[in-house]
Structure 1
């Protein structure tokens, strides 16, 4: 039962997102739970990593450095290009670029 439920997680996420978009008043009281729940999700993802995964990172640190470089250069650059293409105002542009980081 739980396997079937978890295998449909993308469907649940899309459906609940749509419901929250249409009826936001039902979800506003849970706003304070966002950060703790995201932290719990990230912890859960980290716990599933094996020791071999960490050893692979230590054997090839340049891949991590490349990923970090891409995250803080390419992503904000792509966000900036999208902002220019959409002709967003400066305040929205700053927000989108910060989210790109």
Structure 2
């Protein structure tokens, strides 16, 4: 029963996310009561996305681990450097600078 429910939820995950995003954009006050549950709802969304993955989805990672390692290194080196450059070019405030650099990492 749980698997059937999870399967139905997962198949409609994109619909749920787009529906919530649309409601939140056009009528933010509608979803305000759910604000205390944001972390749980985000976790549920990530869980649903994870349930859609199969072992086949990970085969390319195991077949070409060098590309995965290269991508990981790029994410944690190039992206923060680019964020730092954006901070300097646009002369962002310290709080925005830290947020952007952390988000890039």
Q: TM-score, normalised by structure 1?
A: 0.71
Q: Tell me, in whole angstroms, the C-alpha distance in 2 between the residues paired with 1:8 and 1:30.
A: 14
- Displacement of 1:14 after TM fit? 4.4
Poorly superposed stretches of 4+, deviation over 6 Å: none
Residues 1:19 and 1:86: Cα distance change in structure 2 (over 3 Å) = farther
Match of 1:68 in 2: 72
Higher relative contact order (CA closer than 8 Å, sequence separation 6+) = 2
Match of 1:81 in 2: 85
Matched, 1:44 2:51: no
Structure 1 alignment gaps of length 5 or more: none
Structure 2 alignment gaps of length 5 or more: 1-10
Q: Tell me, in whole angstroms, the C-alpha distance in 1 between the residues paired with 2:82 and 2:26.
A: 27
1:82-97 aligned at under 5 Å gives the runs 82-97=86-101
Q: Tell me, in whole angstroms, the C-alpha distance in 2 between the residues paired with 1:74 and 1:91.
A: 21
Residues 1:80 and 1:17: Cα distance change in structure 2 (over 3 Å) = farther
Q: How many pairs align?
A: 94
Q: TM-score, normalised by structure 2?
A: 0.69
